Amino acid sequence: MKKKDILDREIDLILDKHINCLSAISGKIILVTGATGLIGFSLIQFLLKLGKKTDNPPKILALVRNIEKAKEMFGDQETIRFIHSNVEDCLSMDFNIDFIVHGASQTASSAFVNEPVETIMTAIQGTNNMLNLAKEKKVKSFVYLSSMEVYGAPESDEKINENHATNLNTMAVRSSYPESKRMCESLCASFCSEYNVPAKVIRLTQTFGPGVNYNDGRVFADFARAAIENRDIVLHTKGETKRSYLYTIDAVTAILSVLLNGEDGHAYNAANESTYCSIFEMANLVAEKCASNKIKVIIQEENSSKFGYAPILKMNLETAKIRKLGWMPTKDLIGMFTEMIKSM
């Protein structure tokens, strides 16, 4: 089964629960940046399927760097239009835009240490451009996809709400990613305050599910490949970092909840709190529950900085604020890995 088919099936399972979104987005124009990334692709697929339930579907503008890749991913559909551009370039559009979901960002951990300047400038220039576009078009709502990494490296298992402080080290090169996210959040708050742009921020935890590329370099994909290939899982650290995770489709519904119901100038955590565990614990879970043959977890410690890994942390996100908007996650960790492995 193709990963797009698996994603479609998963969307169908929850689509009717979110049919109330239709009245807000029917006939509207929605710009999505980072459209060919995991979350952007999943969001657009969700919106396209939701749109089929109305005679007046939303129109999707997908900002992409590679038109051919986008056409291959989405196919030829009347309600989607591809805009060939980088977010760093100023955009001039001669049509209205009702909503913007800004998700374009550097996501490769190795780039945070190997290309830190580009990581920062892509984030800041791109977000400034999108916010100026939102200001010009007088959009109804704008959502910036931020990250749990804005909280730095918490050292205890305490719950982290949206007002939690950070201990980020600005002089650590890898901070190029989380510090640029923090600056972009500040831009959102500033545009909201000064220019009345209805900007919101959603701080996503690590997200995966159908649509993850087989060769994705992140740890969850490596664990899935090990299960598929029936080889031992090799950790380059002791796997002490703890965090919660989020299913791809749950991230999509969280984004829509904030886009349509969130408060302007506010940030919202998004995670499945029940998935909170260490990387070592998650590796053992995959080895025991997801591999067809018995595999082991082996620790071979190396200098983690060369991989662009974040420092050891305990990111126990609290999600009470977004749940007040009516959002709830649907998939636990085993379910997330099961669906991702099917698609991979």
| Interatomic CA distance for residues 100 and 105, integer angstroms | 15
Low-confidence winner among 92-96, 248-252, 327-331 (lowest mean pLDDT): 92-96
User: If you average pLDDT over every residue of the chain, what do you get?
Assistant: 92
Contact 140, 96 (CB under 8 A): no
**Residue 288: inside a domain, yes or no?**
no
Give the CA-trace dihedral at 5, 9, 15, 21, to 10 degrees.
Answer: -20
Give the CA-trace dihedral at 185, 210, 106, 272, to 10 degrees.
Answer: 30
**Residue 121: inside a domain, yes or no?**
yes
The residue type at 97: I
Contact 240, 252 (CB under 8 A): no
**Residue 327: inside a domain, yes or no?**
yes
**Residue 341: inside a domain, yes or no?**
no
Which CATH number fits the domain that encloses residue 176? Answer: 3.40.50.720
Angle at 164 between CA 160 and CA 166, to 5 degrees: 110
- pLDDT at position 303: 63
**Residue 54: inside a domain, yes or no?**
yes
Q: What is the pLDDT of residues 125-142, one digit of tens each?
A: 999 999 999 999 999 999
**Which of 202, 173, 169, 201 minimizes the C-alpha distance to 306?**
173
Query: Which pLDDT band, with edges at 50, 70 and 90, does 11 fall under?
Result: confident
Into how many domains does the chain fold?
1
**What's the gap between Cα 114 and its chain centre?**
22
**Residue 324: inside a domain, yes or no?**
yes
Query: Which pLDDT band, with edges at 50, 70 and 90, does 110 fall under?
Result: confident
Beta strands at 242-247 and 206-208: parallel, antiparallel or unpaired: parallel
Find the domain containing 66 and state its range. 3-211+245-273+316-333
**Residue 232: inside a domain, yes or no?**
no
- pLDDT at position 309: 65
The pTM of this model reads: 0.94
**Which of 322, 320, 321, 316 minimizes the C-alpha distance to 159?**
316
Q: What is the pLDDT of residues 163-188, one digit of tens each?
A: 999 999 999 999 999 999 999 999 99
**Which of 269, 275, 319, 318 minimizes the C-alpha distance to 159?**
318
- pLDDT at position 23: 86
**Residue 300: inside a domain, yes or no?**
no
